[in-house]
Amino acid sequence: QVQLVESGGGLVQPGGSLRLSCVASGFTFSLYAMSWYRQAPGKERELVATMSSGGGSTNYADSVKGRFTISRDNAKNTVYLQMNSLKPEDTAVYYCHGRWVRAYWGQGTQVTVSS
């Protein structure tokens, strides 16, 4: 059974930091490119960051460059998203996504940036 389980979301003040984690099971994690997406209320889901299967390549949305960092630990089947200097506009549900021959989604974790 394939599972992607996110954790680490919550309420944080502007300028604060959060670290999201996504633990994968049921598929060969090391073969999959892993990404984080987010969806704010009333908006479409957007790509935040992507990391290649081996971790050698990353891409970020312009809105998060320099503030967010994606990383992965293939030994732990886990992908992370370190989010610094958070802004109210970062408020969204964040989803973990894995893609190779198939695509898988997690259930999402809420991030709220508010004072």
Measured in Å, how far apart are the chain's first and last C-alpha atoms?
A: 40
- The 10s digit of each residue's pLDDT in 49-104 is 999 999 899 999 999 999 999 999 999 999 999 999 999 999 999 999 999 999 99
pLDDT of 55 reads 87
Question: What phi, psi does 89 have (nearest 5°)?
Answer: -70, -5
pLDDT of 105 reads 98
